[in-house]
Copies of this chain bind each other. A is one copy, B any other.
Amino acid sequence: MRISELARESGTPLATVKFYLREGLLQPGERTSATQAIYDDRHLRRLRLIRVLVDFAGLSLAQVKVVITALSEDNVLAAAALAHRNLAPQVEESVETDRATAALQRHGWFVDPTSPSVRQLAAVLHAAESLGLPMPPELFDVYAEAAHQVATAEVSGIVTGNVEQAVNEVVIGTVLFEPVWGALRRCAQADVSRRLWEELEDG
């Protein structure tokens, strides 16, 4: 299809499609003349992916580029590492990670204190403290155990099957399942609150 059809078919404004092409987010079409190129289903899928990453996962275009680069890795763990390193919110290098590292090691985890995720964790815990509302250690432990259960299910699920599928799953899963968690946690809080409320009314 021609670029105008690609835009129409994907529901993306033509100017945006051209912008993604210039930025290298959308792979070039196959040239048919000096001024024309044709596009196919792979371009449609890529546009759909960009839209989901921007709309649902709230990624910046720079982060979308990281995801797209990771998707072309031919090693699952390398792709996962790329996604993990670059999709965590960027936190100042100077944040003190000793206590966050110690808390994770207490759970027996391998920890890389220089990883952006550890820095993000340390920064958020510190922010909660600075508001006078530190996360209680027992709650941290519940979070850590829950996160480990989820990670085990996620990572174990991807080591089987073919590499392209696995890379897709791990990269998209890293990005897309975080809002799933946020939504589920809020639904669960509503459920638990309502139960407590009913118990109070009954008692």
Given A117-B186, A121-B183, A185-B181, also A192-B156 (CB < 8 A): yes
| Least distance between A79 CB and chain B CB atoms (Å) | 11
Interface residue tally on A, bucketed by range: 35 or more
Q: CB within 8 A of A142: which of B120, B153, B192?
A: B153
Given A124-B176, A159-B196, A180-B143, also A189-B151 (CB < 8 A): yes
Q: Give 30 A-B contacts (CB < 8 Å), ordered by A residue.
A: A45-B132, A48-B130, A56-B127, A84-B186, A84-B190, A111-B187, A111-B191, A115-B187, A120-B182, A120-B183, A124-B180, A133-B173, A135-B177, A142-B149, A143-B177, A143-B181, A144-B188, A146-B146, A146-B150, A147-B188, A148-B192, A150-B185, A151-B189, A152-B188, A154-B189, A155-B192, A155-B193, A159-B196, A178-B181, A178-B182
A interface residues, Cβ below 8 angstroms from B: 45, 48-49, 52, 55-56, 58, 77, 80, 84, 88-89, 104, 109-112, 115, 117-118, 120-121, 123-125, 127-128, 130-133, 135-136, 138-140, 142-157, 159, 168-169, 172-174, 176-197
| Chain A interface SS verdict (over half) | helix
Q: How far does the alpha carbon of A92 sit from the alpha carbon of B153 in the complex, in Å? A: 31
